[in-house]
Copies of this chain bind each other. A is one copy, B any other.
Amino acid sequence: MKIDLKLTQIIIIVILFIFTFSNVAMAQTITGDPLPSWNEGTNKQTIINFVENVTDPENPNYVAPELRIATFDNDGTLWAEKPMYFQAAFSLSRIRELAPKFPEWKDKQPFKAVLENDQDYLANITVNELLEIAMVTHAGMSQKEFEQEAKEFLDTAKHPRFNQLYKQVIYQPMLELLTYLQNKQFKTYICSGGGLDFIRLFSEEAYDIAPENVIGSNIFKTYEIVSNHSQFIRQPQLIEPINDKAGKPVNIERFIGKKPMLAVGNSDGDIEMMQYTVIEHQPSLALLLHHDDEIREYRYTKGTEKALELAKEYNWKVISMKQDFKQVFSFTSE
C-alpha cells in the first residue's frame, strides 16, 4: 500500500510536470531551441542572431525593450489565406445565412453568385462587389451582434482542405517566433489588411496578441446609450486608409507611433511596411514568407511578385515554407 501511494504520487508529479512544460515557452527552456519547428539554416540563424543581439545589453546593437516593436501581417503570414481569405469565407457564410431576409438577392449580383456558388463569377468579382458583400455582413449591426456572429463562425467553420477550424490553420513556426519575441520583451503586433474586429476575436487565443496590439482595416462606429445600455453601431463606411500597402506604415504610425524593428509579411501588400521597417533604420529585419510548398500547404507567387523582387534590393529574408519550415501546422506531424 505504501509503495502504491508513492507510485501514484510519482505519476501525479510526472503528469503535472508534463502539463507545466507543455507549452512552447517552456519547451524552449528545455531544448534551448526557441524555434524547434524551423529547419536549421541561414534564415533560422539570422532570426536568432538578430533577436539575441538586440536583446543583449553588452551588444552594440542592443535595443531597449520599449523600442522592440514587431509587426506581423496575418493572412498568409500567421495563418493560411487559401483557398480564400478566411474572413471572406465568413462573409460568404453570412450571406447564405442572411439570404432568407433578402429575397431580392436571388436576382442581384454579387449575392446571386454567392448563393448559387457561381465560381466563374466569383473568380472575377470586382473590388466594389467584395466591398458590398463586406458591408452587408460587417456593418449595420451592433458591435456585440457582429462579435457573436463572427465568433460563431470562428468556433465552428472548418477549412475545406485541412478539416480544422480556421483559427487552427496557423503556422507553427510563426507561432514559435511570436512566443520567442514575446519572451524577449518584444511588443508583437498584428498589422493586417483584414478586419480589426474579426482578428481581435481570435488573436489572443491563437497568438497571445491582445486586442490593443491588433492593427487592421476598420469601419466607422457610432456610440449610443439605449435604455441604459451603451453600444457601438457598425457603420457601412471604411476608415481610410485601408490597412494594406502604404496604409500599413500610416496605421503603424497612428496606432503605435514607433517604427517596428522587425516586420513579417508575405505579399505585395506588405511591401511598404517592410520598407518602412528597414529604410534608414538599424538594427532591423524584415521577413517575407514564400508559399512554395504545394505538398504541405500551397504554392503561389500571384500577388507576391513585386515583394519577391524587392527582397533582394532591401535585403529582406525570404522564408521558404518548403525549406525553412520543419513543421507547418501544429495539427500535422510535419
CB within 8 Å of B: which residues of A?
A: 66, 143, 187, 196-197, 200, 210-212, 214, 218, 220-225, 228-230, 232, 239-240, 246, 249-250, 253-258, 272, 275-276, 279-280
Cα A249 to Cα B230 in complex, Å, equals 10
Contact partner of A212 among B197, B232, B257, CB < 8 A? B257
Q: Give the 6 A-B CB pairs with smallest separation, nearest first.
A: A211-B257, A223-B246, A223-B249, A212-B256, A230-B279, A223-B250
Asked whether A276 and B212 contact (CB < 8 A) given A200-B257, A257-B200, the answer is no
Contact partner of A211 among B228, B256, B280, CB < 8 A? B256
Known: A212-B258, A224-B246, A230-B279. 8 other contacts (CB 8 A): A196-B254, A211-B256, A218-B254, A223-B249, A223-B276, A225-B279, A228-B280, A230-B280
**A240 contacts which chain B residues (CB < 8 A)?**
220
Cα A200 to Cα B254 in complex, Å, equals 11
Task: Please report whether the interface of chain A is mostly helix, strand, loop or mixed according to DSSP.
Answer: mixed
How many monomers of this chain does the complex have? 2
**A221 contacts which chain B residues (CB < 8 A)?**
250, 253-254
**A228 contacts which chain B residues (CB < 8 A)?**
279-280
Are the C-beta atoms of A143 and B253 separated by less than 8 Å? yes
**A197 contacts which chain B residues (CB < 8 A)?**
257
Are the C-beta atoms of A272 and B212 separated by less than 8 Å? no
Cα A275 to Cα B226 in complex, Å, equals 12
Cα A260 to Cα B66 in complex, Å, equals 23
Cα A228 to Cα B313 in complex, Å, equals 12
Contact partner of A222 among B214, B224, B246, B258, CB < 8 A? B246
Question: Taking each of A143, A225, A228, which has the highest tally of chain B beta carbons within 10 Å of its own beta carbon?
Answer: A225
What is the minimal beta-carbon distance from A207 to any residue of chain B, in angstroms?
A: 14
